[in-house]
A and B are shown apart, each in its own frame.
Chain A
Amino acid sequence: MDLRAQLSMSFHMDKCIGCHTCSVSCKNVWTSRRGAEYMWWNNVETKPGAGYPLTWEDQERYRGGWEVSGGSLRLKLLKGPGKIRTLANIFFQPNLPTIDDYYEPFTYDYQNLFNAPAGDDQPTARPRSLITGEFMEKIALGPNWDDDMGGSPLYASNDPNLKGLSESQKELLTKFHKLFFFYLPRICNHCLNPACVASCPSGAIYKRGEDGIVLIDQDTCRAWRFCVSACPYKKPYYNWANGKSEKCIFCYPRTETGQANACAHACTGRIRFVGVLFYDADRIEEVAKTPDERLVDAMRDIVLDPNDPRVIEEARKQGIDENWIVAAQNSPSYNLFKKWRIAMPNHPEFRTLPMNFYVPPLSPVLHNAKAENGGVFDSESVEFFNSIDKMRIPVRYLANMLSAGNEQVVIESLKKQMAVRLWVRQQRVGDIGDSAAKAALSAVGLTPEEAFEIYKLVSLATFQERFVIPETHRETMTTVDPRLMYEKRGTVGFGNKRQELVSRQW
């Protein structure tokens, strides 16, 4: 066993209101620079929707992620055996998205509002490209262009997750009384089997052993851009101005000191949870090769139980600090993903073993059941248990998005959430009936204690319960050789050149 720690974020999609506060706080902290204007390390997509960049989930087009071929795991990008194909395409990448798949970053000519000469018409602020500085005829695309299903026949109808849905189910895009959408907040998944790392010819991208955060070494990056093509989630972005790739850094300067990520901290809906997972790195390849229908279960298997004495012993052997072990035992990500089995990864079929998990949205079940029954929802019945197949967001759609097509995984999560709702309603309102609520719980294999824990975490949890982020003990792993500390006083962080100048003595 090769036990390692991984920081992981989970999202409760039912609670996401699509306010984009996360995206804005991320942008303010990290990407408000030239060349990075179009980068949204954190973005929120309306689902069904085309996403950002457009149709990123369509791997027939972008060829991101991995595929199993002849029993071995290989990058989809390579199309043939061996890595030589990567180098053959080094001068021109056929699968690289261009800025037109994102949007041309723009500002407005605000000065014209002040400086325009007097005239008959109100002065306007015309859009101006942030790349060329020229005026733009019109803005053709932007972040969240199809927000809240705007233009969905044009954009959302290309959503790859709609495959396998019946025509009447697809009416959720167009028929007003069937209309429904929800939000998918996305950051880099900090995968266990990252395709960006595997595709980088320079070896500039790496996964940090201590916390699993995937980073790009900007000094080593040589702008080959294979990470952009290979990542199925399109989360590495190419900085067109300085010629380097950049990506979500999981706010490591914050998490190292135990603070929540900028996006998670800002989340108004409190939908985000951050915690530590322990996993067995020896099994990554085996799990990544698992057939689609068992993929989510295999991913739950690779995550280890932090309360198991053998796992704790192994963690200590690997030099993992005590506060990390305690954090892993209180990890909301572990509870949601593995213990309660209500969260699942986004597109596990890309086989990168993504480490962010999503609790699928439940609300539309109730709503649609009401519409289908043509009357007032009867809170005393457990009817909607059986109407999960009639919900507005079809289970098929959620399964395409969250469980590699395995509907059972999604249904299990939805039923559990429903049972918890019934049980809590019985506790607080008391109109369900104790036996009915208990029966609902036992039908999905939950105890009242577990149901209360789930309810507490997803509804009442405090900041400290949602973000269990252990501090990294930087004081014991200084980046400066302790023997040189005296010589380097006052110069640390300024690089070699500066140190030489300052430490020169006569």
Chain B
Amino acid sequence: MDKVLFGVMPYILLMTAIVGAIWRFKSNKYTWSSQSSQFLENKTLFFGSFPWHYGIITLLLGHILGLFIPKSFVLWNAVPLRLYILELTALALGFLALFGLLALIYRRLTNSRVKAVTSGWDVLVLIILLIQVVTGIGNAILYRWGSNWYVATAVPWMWSILKLQPNVDFVANLPLITKTHIFNALLFIGLIPFSRLAHFVVINPYKYLVRPYQVVRWYRKGGPTVNIVSYK
């Protein structure tokens, strides 16, 4: 069972994400975004979107950092005070994200205008995200000092996956709640190209910081071009 869930499924879901992303970007670039509903409702959204995004992005960056510099985490945590600071910060961010997410779910369920632009995928995404945040907070409270054991279990497992030598032993003995957290994260990745999570990999805005304010396109300069859409 573990072998299937943590040895095979990661590849299936990662491939789904990559192939799906290429397919959607090629075939339907138009829909590659997350449909905003701020225009229809912006009061509850404020209490949802801000805490959610800033909480979850910081936590996600923490997880990714752990993947790449596990040793620094262990070194940082060597002093108990620093461990407490890290764990408490992470837990606070988790609650911040949970608060935001609950506000977003409440908004989507109660506001009739927002409901009018809600698809089945949106609901699925919210369920996946809720499971992820709740199990994450559960991990942090029930099995303390996750920042320490994360680098000894999930990190080597992820590397084994990435190096194409899957070794499920690293995660096989983890408690159920942690396993749920990990597998749910895989589902999240698999969903990216098919849902509003697509905006998660929108790479356009970084260009905004370096480009000049004004954009001018000429349709007769720049040599032969096959389709007018590709003039940039």
Asked if B117 is at the interface (CB within 8 A of a chain A CB), the reply is: yes
Q: 13 A-B contacts, Cβ less than 8 Å apart?
A: A86-B208, A92-B45, A93-B38, A193-B214, A194-B214, A201-B205, A203-B207, A209-B217, A219-B30, A222-B202, A223-B36, A479-B225, A482-B224
B residues 109-155 touching A (CB-CB < 8 Å): 112-113, 115-117
Shortest distance between the CB of A349 and any CB in chain B (Å): 19
Question: Which residues of chain B have C-beta atoms less than 8 A from A193's C-beta?
Answer: 214
* B27:A497 contact, CB within 8 angstroms: yes
| A-B pairs with lowest CB-CB distance, top 10 | A243-B35, A198-B213, A477-B220, A209-B218, A201-B205, A481-B224, A222-B33, A479-B228, A206-B215, A91-B53
Partner-binding segment picked from A107-115, A131-139, A339-347, A435-443: A131-139
* A87:B38 contact, CB within 8 angstroms: no
What is the total number of residues of chain A having a CB less than 8 Å from a CB of chain B? 60
* B208:A83 contact, CB within 8 angstroms: yes
Asked if B42 is at the interface (CB within 8 A of a chain A CB), the reply is: yes
Shortest distance between the CB of B129 and any CB in chain A (Å): 15
Closest to B45 in A: A92
Shortest distance between the CB of B177 and any CB in chain A (Å): 29
- Which listed residue (A92, A222, A481) contacts B38, Cβ 8 A? A92
- Which listed residue (A96, A97, A241, A481) contacts B225, Cβ 8 A? A481
A residues 125-182 touching B (CB-CB < 8 Å): 131-134
Question: Which residues of chain B have C-beta atoms less than 8 A from A240's C-beta?
Answer: 37, 39-40, 117
* B113:A225 contact, CB within 8 angstroms: no
Question: Which residues of chain B have C-beta atoms less than 8 A from A257's C-beta?
Answer: none
Asked if A402 is at the interface (CB within 8 A of a chain B CB), the reply is: no
Question: Which residues of chain A have C-beta atoms less than 8 A from B218's C-beta?
Answer: 208-210
- Which listed residue (A131, A202, A221) contacts B113, Cβ 8 A? A131
- Which listed residue (A197, A476, A482, A497) contacts B214, Cβ 8 A? A197
A201 to B33, CA, bound (A): 13
A residues 85-102 touching B (CB-CB < 8 Å): 86-87, 90-93, 96-99
Asked if A1 is at the interface (CB within 8 A of a chain B CB), the reply is: no
- Which listed residue (B116, B204, B207) contacts A132, Cβ 8 A? B116
| Chain B interface size, under 10 / 10 to 19 / 20 to 34 / 35 or more | 35 or more
Asked if B60 is at the interface (CB within 8 A of a chain A CB), the reply is: no
Task: Bits for A417-431, please: 1 = Cβ < 8 Å to B, else 0.
Answer: 000000000000000
* B38:A131 contact, CB within 8 angstroms: no
Q: Please give the residue numbers on chain B whose beta carbons come within 8 Å of chain A beta carbons, in ascending order.
A: 27, 29-30, 32-42, 45-46, 49-50, 52-54, 112-113, 115-117, 199, 202, 204-205, 207-209, 211, 213-221, 224-229
Asked if A29 is at the interface (CB within 8 A of a chain B CB), the reply is: no
Question: Which residues of chain B have C-beta atoms less than 8 A from A133's C-beta?
Answer: 116
Asked if A224 is at the interface (CB within 8 A of a chain B CB), the reply is: yes
A482 to B226, CA, bound (A): 9
* B204:A202 contact, CB within 8 angstroms: yes
* A209:B221 contact, CB within 8 angstroms: yes
Shortest distance between the CB of B131 and any CB in chain A (Å): 22
Question: Which residues of chain A have C-beta atoms less than 8 A from B53's C-beta?
Answer: 91
Question: Which residues of chain A have C-beta atoms less than 8 A from B207's C-beta?
Answer: 203
Closest to A88 in B: B54
A207 to B219, CA, bound (A): 11
Report if A222-B32 is in contact (Cβ < 8 Å); known contacts: A83-B208, A477-B219: yes
* B211:A203 contact, CB within 8 angstroms: yes
Residue of B32, B52, B216, B228 with most partner-chain A CB within 10 A: B216
A472 to B74, CA, bound (A): 66
* B205:A224 contact, CB within 8 angstroms: yes
Shortest distance between the CB of A472 and any CB in chain B (Å): 9
Shortest distance between the CB of B175 and any CB in chain A (Å): 33
* A131:B219 contact, CB within 8 angstroms: no
* B204:A201 contact, CB within 8 angstroms: yes
* A197:B215 contact, CB within 8 angstroms: yes
Shortest distance between the CB of A320 and any CB in chain B (Å): 11
A90 to B36, CA, bound (A): 11
Asked if A54 is at the interface (CB within 8 A of a chain B CB), the reply is: no
- Which listed residue (B41, B214, B227) contacts A496, Cβ 8 A? B227
Question: Which residues of chain B have C-beta atoms less than 8 A from A132's C-beta?
Answer: 112-113, 115-116
Shortest distance between the CB of A466 and any CB in chain B (Å): 27
A496 to B29, CA, bound (A): 13
A497 to B229, CA, bound (A): 14
Question: Which residues of chain A have C-beta atoms less than 8 A from B214's C-beta?
Answer: 193-194, 197-198, 207, 284
Closest to A477 in B: B220
Question: Which residues of chain B have C-beta atoms less than 8 A from A90's C-beta?
Answer: 205
Question: Which residues of chain B have C-beta atoms less than 8 A from A200's C-beta?
Answer: 208, 215
Shortest distance between the CB of B71 and any CB in chain A (Å): 32
Shortest distance between the CB of A473 and any CB in chain B (Å): 9
Asked if A220 is at the interface (CB within 8 A of a chain B CB), the reply is: yes
Shortest distance between the CB of A408 and any CB in chain B (Å): 31
- Which listed residue (A208, A241, A244) contacts B217, Cβ 8 A? A208
A20 to B225, CA, bound (A): 41
Asked if A84 is at the interface (CB within 8 A of a chain B CB), the reply is: yes
Shortest distance between the CB of A480 and any CB in chain B (Å): 7
A residues 52-96 touching B (CB-CB < 8 Å): 75, 83-84, 86-87, 90-93, 96
Closest to B211 in A: A203
* A87:B208 contact, CB within 8 angstroms: yes
Report if A92-B40 is in contact (Cβ < 8 Å); known contacts: A87-B209, A208-B216, A210-B218: no
* B116:A83 contact, CB within 8 angstroms: no
Question: Which residues of chain A have C-beta atoms less than 8 A from B229's C-beta?
Answer: 217, 219
